[in-house]
Amino acid sequence: MGEFLTFDEFLNWDAVAGRFTPPARLAVIGDPISHSRSPQMHNPALKARGIEAQYIRVQVPQGRVAEAFRQFAKCGFLGVNITIPHKFEALAEVDEIDPLASRLGAVNTLAIREGRLIGYNTDGPGFLRSVKETFGAEVKDLRVLILGAGGGAGRAVAVQSALVGCPKLVLANRTVSKAETLAGEVTSLSPKNEVKLLSWTDEALAGILPEIDLIVNATSLGMKTGDARLVPAEALLARHLVFDMVYRADGETPLLEDATMAGAKVVDGLTLLLHQGAISFEHWFGGTAPLDAMREGLRNALKA
Ligand SMILES: NC(=O)c1ccc[n+]([C@@H]2O[C@H](COP(=O)([O-])OP(=O)(O)OC[C@H]3O[C@@H](n4cnc5c(N)ncnc54)[C@H](OP(=O)(O)O)[C@@H]3O)[C@@H](O)[C@H]2O)c1
């Protein structure tokens, strides 16, 4: 687990700032936060661009995001990434919200410009880039099934897919009411395209999968050995593209294992972590992020 500042340490910035050379100017906040691999991705990027700044982890308890943002601005930080559980709280605490973040309903990137707090969401665009890079396909051309269309990640992927006009969007979630709410919202975004709510059973999945191109796992299942399988293996087809937002340092998730066996093309959440991070970097510094340095940093972090 990586080093991090506690919230009390962070509030006492003058006492800790000297620990960081080059100076800390970027951070990721969450609770917990020690597991975050974002520093291992962003610090090589800063070095590659010759930027004299460092990216650190800060543990921020729920309900303290506004206070944290004020402290980051006061201490001269340029930007912050926001992870679980703060992406929704962050939305309410910025001075300006990028229209896409507003649509996606969550902020995972903060840029601090002349003391103003500007909120972005890079999960949705990071998903589009990941699909393009891995599968050579555009989400706008794909029929998409989202498992876990009720959580924050599933929401971002569903709204982003609807915004680019994917022809068919099928939503499934353990708690059906959450997927129902989301289905209503995405239908209004893309009234010409088909939005369907799926009851999550093996039979219903086997029935719908022949009509699907891209399967997305946006649940938190798959991280641990022994996690339940999301889709019956025999319903997966060689022509499927399978995107698991979860990643594991010690191998493939059960969904990706089954999909690989079926001959499908697969990608795990590490590619999304890379691309959402690259887009954050571009919001902070402009231009194109040094993707190779970020990718290598992540690979090294996984090996460690
Ligand atoms: N790779 C990346 O960069 C990246 C970015 C964002 C998120 N993620 C990953 O995506 C996952 C979801 O994140 P989130 O922010 O959306 O979390 P979240 O808001 O807590 O949502 C969790 C989702 O998982 C579902 N779920 C949990 N346990 C389940 C079970 N036993 N059976 C079926 N469904 C279950 C929930 O269904 P209910 O609604 O029924 O509770 C909900 O849809 C996490 O693993 C996160 O690490 C990865």
Residue 236's CATH number: 3.40.50.720
CA distances 88 to 14, 55, 83, 195, Å, are 29, 22, 10, 25
The verdict on 211 and 81 lying in the same domain is no
Enter the pTM of the model: 0.95
The verdict on 234 and 283 lying in the same domain is no
The verdict on 52 and 155 lying in the same domain is no
Task: Give the domain range for residue 196.
Answer: 124-267
In a domain, 256, yes or no: yes
In a domain, 243, yes or no: yes
Query: What is the structure's pLDDT at 187?
Result: 93
Pairing relationship of beta strands 241-244 and 116-120 according to DSSP bridges: unpaired
Element (H, E) at 214: strand 214-217
In a domain, 2, yes or no: no
In a domain, 65, yes or no: yes
The verdict on 68 and 153 lying in the same domain is no
The verdict on 13 and 108 lying in the same domain is yes
The verdict on 261 and 280 lying in the same domain is no
User: Which residues of the chain are under the pLDDT cut of 70?
Assistant: 1
Residue 34: CB atoms within 10 A of its CB come to: 11
Give the integer Cα–Cα distance in Å for 255 and 248: 12
Distance from the alpha carbon of residue 101 to the mean position of ligand 1, in angstroms: 19
The verdict on 104 and 184 lying in the same domain is no
Contacting residues for 261 by C-beta, under 8 A, at least 6 apart? 233, 236
Please tell me the residue having the least CA distance from ligand 1 atom 25: 219
Distance from the alpha carbon of residue 221 to the mean position of ligand 1, in angstroms: 7
Is residue 196 among the annotated active site residues?
no
Please tell me the residue having the least CA distance from ligand 1 atom 4: 245
Tell whether ligand 1 has an atom less than 6 A from the beta carbon of residue 157. Answer: no
Spatial contact of 197 and 183, defined as CB atoms under 8 Å apart: yes
Sign of the alpha-carbon torsion through 246, 247, 251, 256? positive
Query: What is the structure's pLDDT at 283?
Result: 98
Query: What is the structure's pLDDT at 304?
Result: 81
Task: Report the CATH number at residue 71.
Answer: 3.40.50.10860
The verdict on 114 and 22 lying in the same domain is yes
The verdict on 135 and 235 lying in the same domain is yes
What's the pLDDT tens digit per position in 94-120?
Answer: 999 999 999 999 999 999 999 999 999
Distance from the alpha carbon of residue 151 to the mean position of ligand 1, in angstroms: 5
Query: What is the structure's pLDDT at 1?
Result: 60
What's the pLDDT tens digit per position in 209-242?
Answer: 999 999 999 999 998 888 889 999 999 999 999 9
Q: What is the number of domains present in the chain?
A: 2
The verdict on 84 and 31 lying in the same domain is yes
The verdict on 20 and 66 lying in the same domain is yes
Pocket-testing residue among 219, 227, 231, 276, ligand 1, by greatest number of atoms within 8 A of Cβ: 219
In a domain, 1, yes or no: no
In a domain, 96, yes or no: yes
The verdict on 85 and 160 lying in the same domain is no
